[in-house]
Amino acid sequence: DQQVKQNSPSLSVQEGRISILNCDYTNSMFDYFLWYKKYPAEGPTFLISISSIKDKNEDGRFTVFLNKSAKHLSLHIVPSQPGDSAVYFCAARRYNFNKFYFGSGTKLNVKP
Amino acid sequence: NAGVTQTPKFQVLKTGQSMTLQCAQDMNHEYMSWYRQDPGMGLRLIHYSVGAGITDQGEVPNGYNVSRSTTEDFPLRLLSAAPSQTSVYFCASRLDRNYGYTFGSGTRLTVV
Protein backbone atom coordinates (compact mmCIF):
# COMPACT_ATOMS: atom_id res chain seq x y z
CA ASP A 1 0.00 0.00 0.00
CA GLN A 2 1.59 3.24 -1.15
CA GLN A 3 1.89 5.80 1.63
CA VAL A 4 2.86 8.58 -0.77
CA LYS A 5 0.82 9.07 -3.91
CA GLN A 6 1.21 11.21 -6.98
CA ASN A 7 -2.03 10.75 -8.86
CA SER A 8 -1.05 12.64 -12.01
CA PRO A 9 1.40 10.61 -14.10
CA SER A 10 2.01 13.54 -16.42
CA LEU A 11 1.54 17.29 -16.75
CA SER A 12 2.05 19.56 -19.73
CA VAL A 13 2.56 23.31 -19.28
CA GLN A 14 3.46 26.21 -21.55
CA GLU A 15 6.79 27.92 -20.97
CA GLY A 16 6.42 30.92 -18.65
CA ARG A 17 3.29 29.59 -16.95
CA ILE A 18 2.98 28.00 -13.52
CA SER A 19 3.48 24.26 -13.02
CA ILE A 20 1.73 22.71 -10.03
CA LEU A 21 2.65 19.18 -9.05
CA ASN A 22 0.64 17.44 -6.34
CA CYS A 23 1.38 14.78 -3.78
CA ASP A 24 -0.82 13.11 -1.15
CA TYR A 25 0.22 11.01 1.81
CA THR A 26 -1.61 8.76 4.20
CA ASN A 27 0.63 8.63 7.27
CA SER A 28 -0.04 11.54 9.64
CA MET A 29 3.27 10.79 11.38
CA PHE A 30 5.30 11.98 8.38
CA ASP A 31 7.19 15.10 9.36
CA TYR A 32 9.67 15.80 6.57
CA PHE A 33 8.95 16.02 2.87
CA LEU A 34 11.16 16.41 -0.17
CA TRP A 35 10.86 16.87 -3.90
CA TYR A 36 13.31 15.32 -6.33
CA LYS A 37 13.77 15.94 -10.04
CA LYS A 38 14.89 13.19 -12.39
CA TYR A 39 16.14 13.44 -15.95
CA PRO A 40 16.30 10.34 -18.17
CA ALA A 41 19.30 8.08 -17.54
CA GLU A 42 20.26 10.05 -14.42
CA GLY A 43 19.66 9.61 -10.73
CA PRO A 44 17.12 11.81 -8.93
CA THR A 45 18.47 15.12 -7.67
CA PHE A 46 17.23 16.93 -4.59
CA LEU A 47 15.11 19.99 -5.34
CA ILE A 48 13.46 21.35 -2.20
CA SER A 49 12.24 20.17 1.19
CA ILE A 50 9.80 21.19 3.90
CA SER A 51 9.42 20.31 7.53
CA SER A 52 5.99 19.71 9.05
CA ILE A 53 6.42 22.76 11.28
CA LYS A 54 6.15 24.95 8.18
CA ASP A 55 3.46 25.30 5.54
CA LYS A 56 5.58 26.90 2.84
CA ASN A 57 9.18 26.87 1.67
CA GLU A 58 10.61 28.83 -1.26
CA ASP A 59 13.79 28.46 -3.25
CA GLY A 60 13.96 30.66 -6.30
CA ARG A 61 11.32 29.58 -8.81
CA PHE A 62 10.33 26.60 -6.66
CA THR A 63 7.87 26.72 -3.77
CA VAL A 64 6.55 23.78 -1.80
CA PHE A 65 3.29 24.07 0.11
CA LEU A 66 2.25 21.69 2.88
CA ASN A 67 -1.34 21.22 4.05
CA LYS A 68 -1.11 18.89 7.03
CA SER A 69 -4.83 18.64 7.65
CA ALA A 70 -5.38 17.47 4.08
CA LYS A 71 -2.16 15.40 4.05
CA HIS A 72 -1.25 17.13 0.82
CA LEU A 73 1.78 18.90 -0.54
CA SER A 74 2.35 20.66 -3.81
CA LEU A 75 5.30 21.98 -5.75
CA HIS A 76 4.88 25.21 -7.69
CA ILE A 77 7.32 26.19 -10.41
CA VAL A 78 7.04 29.79 -11.58
CA PRO A 79 7.83 30.57 -14.31
CA SER A 80 8.21 27.16 -15.91
CA GLN A 81 11.12 26.66 -18.29
CA PRO A 82 11.77 23.93 -20.89
CA GLY A 83 14.72 22.74 -18.78
CA ASP A 84 12.25 21.90 -16.02
CA SER A 85 10.93 19.04 -18.16
CA ALA A 86 11.65 15.96 -16.04
CA VAL A 87 10.00 13.46 -13.71
CA TYR A 88 9.29 14.86 -10.26
CA PHE A 89 9.09 12.61 -7.20
CA CYS A 90 7.82 13.59 -3.80
CA ALA A 91 9.10 11.73 -0.74
CA ALA A 92 8.18 11.64 2.93
CA ARG A 93 9.75 10.45 6.16
CA ARG A 94 8.43 9.80 9.64
CA TYR A 95 10.25 11.48 12.51
CA ASN A 96 13.14 9.41 13.84
CA PHE A 97 12.63 6.77 11.18
CA ASN A 98 15.25 6.10 8.57
CA LYS A 99 13.05 5.28 5.61
CA PHE A 100 11.91 7.67 2.93
CA TYR A 101 8.78 6.75 1.00
CA PHE A 102 8.54 7.95 -2.58
CA GLY A 103 5.60 8.64 -4.82
CA SER A 104 5.33 7.18 -8.31
CA GLY A 105 6.40 10.42 -9.99
CA THR A 106 4.86 13.03 -12.30
CA LYS A 107 6.38 13.64 -15.71
CA LEU A 108 6.39 17.37 -16.43
CA ASN A 109 6.66 18.62 -20.00
CA VAL A 110 7.24 22.34 -20.43
CA LYS A 111 6.51 23.36 -24.00
CA PRO A 112 8.50 26.23 -25.55
CA ASN B 1 33.72 14.91 -8.32
CA ALA B 2 32.27 13.88 -4.99
CA GLY B 3 29.15 11.80 -5.19
CA VAL B 4 27.67 8.34 -5.41
CA THR B 5 29.16 5.97 -7.98
CA GLN B 6 27.28 2.91 -9.20
CA THR B 7 28.65 0.12 -11.36
CA PRO B 8 27.78 -1.33 -13.78
CA LYS B 9 25.43 1.03 -15.61
CA PHE B 10 23.80 -1.81 -17.56
CA GLN B 11 23.59 -5.54 -16.96
CA VAL B 12 21.77 -8.47 -18.50
CA LEU B 13 21.45 -11.63 -16.42
CA LYS B 14 19.95 -15.02 -17.03
CA THR B 15 17.40 -16.34 -14.58
CA GLY B 16 19.15 -17.98 -11.67
CA GLN B 17 22.43 -16.11 -12.01
CA SER B 18 23.82 -14.08 -9.15
CA MET B 19 25.59 -10.77 -9.23
CA THR B 20 26.60 -7.78 -7.13
CA LEU B 21 25.72 -4.19 -7.88
CA GLN B 22 28.42 -1.90 -6.58
CA CYS B 23 27.89 1.42 -4.84
CA ALA B 24 30.51 3.76 -3.42
CA GLN B 25 30.31 7.26 -1.99
CA ASP B 26 33.12 9.63 -1.03
CA MET B 27 31.14 12.14 1.03
CA ASN B 28 31.57 10.33 4.35
CA HIS B 29 27.81 9.82 4.57
CA GLU B 30 26.59 7.48 7.26
CA TYR B 31 23.25 6.62 5.67
CA MET B 32 23.07 4.59 2.46
CA SER B 33 20.14 2.96 0.71
CA TRP B 34 19.21 0.92 -2.32
CA TYR B 35 16.05 1.69 -4.26
CA ARG B 36 14.48 0.15 -7.31
CA GLN B 37 12.41 2.10 -9.78
CA ASP B 38 9.64 0.41 -11.71
CA PRO B 39 7.04 2.03 -14.00
CA GLY B 40 4.08 3.37 -12.01
CA MET B 41 5.67 2.31 -8.71
CA GLY B 42 8.08 5.11 -8.00
CA LEU B 43 11.15 4.36 -5.96
CA ARG B 44 10.86 1.48 -3.51
CA LEU B 45 13.36 0.90 -0.74
CA ILE B 46 15.16 -2.45 -0.84
CA HIS B 47 17.70 -2.23 2.00
CA TYR B 48 19.34 0.55 3.91
CA SER B 49 22.22 1.15 6.30
CA VAL B 50 22.73 3.75 9.01
CA GLY B 51 26.44 3.10 9.36
CA ALA B 52 29.20 0.56 8.84
CA GLY B 53 28.12 -2.83 10.13
CA ILE B 54 24.43 -1.89 10.38
CA THR B 55 21.85 -2.80 7.76
CA ASP B 56 18.09 -3.21 7.72
CA GLN B 57 15.32 -4.19 5.34
CA GLY B 58 13.19 -1.82 3.35
CA GLU B 59 9.88 -2.38 1.58
CA VAL B 60 11.00 -4.99 -0.96
CA PRO B 61 14.02 -6.90 0.44
CA ASN B 62 13.27 -10.41 -0.81
CA GLY B 63 15.90 -11.78 -3.19
CA TYR B 64 18.53 -9.22 -2.20
CA ASN B 65 21.34 -9.12 0.34
CA VAL B 66 23.49 -6.23 1.49
CA SER B 67 26.48 -5.66 3.74
CA ARG B 68 28.24 -2.53 4.92
CA SER B 69 31.82 -3.27 5.92
CA THR B 70 33.03 0.30 5.29
CA THR B 71 31.40 3.73 5.34
CA GLU B 72 32.13 4.17 1.62
CA ASP B 73 30.73 0.97 0.10
CA PHE B 74 27.27 -0.57 0.09
CA PRO B 75 27.01 -3.46 -2.42
CA LEU B 76 23.69 -5.06 -3.32
CA ARG B 77 23.71 -8.80 -4.08
CA LEU B 78 21.13 -10.59 -6.14
CA LEU B 79 21.22 -14.17 -4.96
CA SER B 80 19.33 -15.90 -7.79
CA ALA B 81 18.07 -13.45 -10.39
CA ALA B 82 14.43 -13.57 -11.45
CA PRO B 83 12.62 -11.68 -14.26
CA SER B 84 10.69 -9.77 -11.56
CA GLN B 85 14.00 -8.16 -10.60
CA THR B 86 14.25 -6.42 -13.96
CA SER B 87 14.38 -2.79 -12.90
CA VAL B 88 16.51 0.31 -12.54
CA TYR B 89 18.44 0.28 -9.28
CA PHE B 90 19.55 3.42 -7.50
CA CYS B 91 21.99 3.69 -4.66
CA ALA B 92 21.72 6.78 -2.46
CA SER B 93 23.50 8.26 0.52
CA ARG B 94 22.85 11.05 3.00
CA LEU B 95 24.71 12.65 5.85
CA ASP B 96 22.12 11.92 8.54
CA ARG B 97 18.38 11.68 9.00
CA ASN B 98 17.93 15.43 8.60
CA TYR B 99 19.16 15.54 5.04
CA GLY B 100 17.85 14.33 1.71
CA TYR B 101 19.56 11.75 -0.42
CA THR B 102 22.25 12.08 -3.04
CA PHE B 103 21.56 9.47 -5.69
CA GLY B 104 23.84 7.59 -8.04
CA SER B 105 23.05 7.50 -11.76
CA GLY B 106 21.52 4.04 -11.61
CA THR B 107 22.04 0.49 -12.86
CA ARG B 108 19.61 -0.82 -15.46
CA LEU B 109 19.23 -4.55 -14.89
CA THR B 110 17.43 -6.94 -17.22
CA VAL B 111 16.82 -10.54 -16.21
CA VAL B 112 15.91 -12.87 -19.07
Q: What is the pLDDT of residue A2?
A: 77
- Domains identified in chain A and CATH numbers: 4-111 (2.60.40.10)
Tell me the C-alpha to C-alpha distance, in Å, between residue A88 and each of A23, B31, B44, B110: 10, 23, 15, 24
A21-62: per-residue pLDDT in tens?
999 999 999 999 999 999 998 999 999 999 999 999 999 999
pLDDT at position A58 is: 97
The pLDDT assigned to B99 comes to: 74
Interface with chain B: mutation pick from A104, A106, A107, highest number of B CBs within 10 Å: A104
Mean pLDDT of chain B: 93
- Can you spell out the DSSP letters for A28-48? TTEEEEEEEEE-TTS--EEEE
Partners of B103 on chain A (C-beta within 8 Å) are 36, 43-45
Calculate mean pLDDT across residues B52-64.
94
> What is the Cα B22 distance to its own chain's centre?
8
Mean pLDDT, range B99-106, rounded to an integer = 90
Give me the residues paired with residue B94 across strands. B31
The C-alpha torsion from A52 through A25 and A41 to A78, rounded to 10°, is: -60
Mutate to test the interface with A, among B21, B99, B101 (most CBs of A within 10 A): B101
A74-108 in b/e form (b: 16+ CB < 10 A) is bbbbeebeeebbbbbbbbbbbeeebbbbbbbbbeb
Distance from CA of A42 to the nearest CA of B (A): 5
B contact set with A (CB within 8 A): 4, 31, 33, 35, 40-45, 48, 50, 56, 58-59, 90, 92, 97-98, 100-106
